[in-house]
Amino acid sequence: MALSNETIQNKLIEKFGDQVLNFSTASGILSFESSKEINLKVLQFLYEEPSLAFTFLTDLCGVNYPDNVGAELVVVYHLHNFSENIRLRYSVSTSINETAVFTASKLFESANWMERETYDFFGINFIGHPNLKRILNVDEMDYFPLRKEYPLEDQTRIDKDDEMFGRG
């Protein structure tokens, strides 16, 4: 029996009730969110529940939404079930002032460096991570470059404002 997005959604709701929310499907991939406190429980349930078996962590990355006050930083997990060939996107959000998210590196070895990368660029503090330090940037760096508050362009230039990029 092929695993469908509806089945996954129902199973998650059955297990976690209204703690999992904002289900949507874009380009065939089911996305949902939960509070950051239960991220490990959700990941573990997806991993260990035999009918779901999302045992492969494809990707883990951060996104910064500066306008979502209290949920500025988002950690996005892309999971994959190889035998059913179905992908899943799961995200948890955290405030930029209190960026603590539980690490998934105990469940997936692959999360180790991906979380380090996310920490490096967004400053998300993964609680319980074995070696949370910068990976691509220099250790001396004192900011988290992919946050939107750090502009790419030279701020003294006036010819390249956000209006040029459709975000006036």
CB of 17 to another protein, least distance (A): 26
CB nearer to another protein: give 70 or 130. 130
CB nearer to another protein: give 127 or 136. 136
The token duo for 94 is: 């955290």
Report d(CA 31, CA 24) in Å as an integer: 5
Q: Which residues is 60 bridged to in the sheet?
A: 77
CB nearer to another protein: give 39 or 117. 117
CB nearer to another protein: give 37 or 82. 82
Report d(CA 47, CA 68) in Å as an integer: 30
3-state secondary structure of 62: strand
Q: What angle do CA 72, 149, 140 make, to 5 degrees?
A: 105
Interface with another protein (CB under 8 A): 26-27, 29, 31, 55-59, 61, 63-64, 76, 78, 82, 85, 87, 89, 108-110, 112-114, 117, 121, 134-138, 145-146, 152-153, 160, 164-167
CB of 71 to another protein, least distance (A): 15
Report d(CA 122, CA 107) in Å as an integer: 22
CB of 122 to another protein, least distance (A): 10
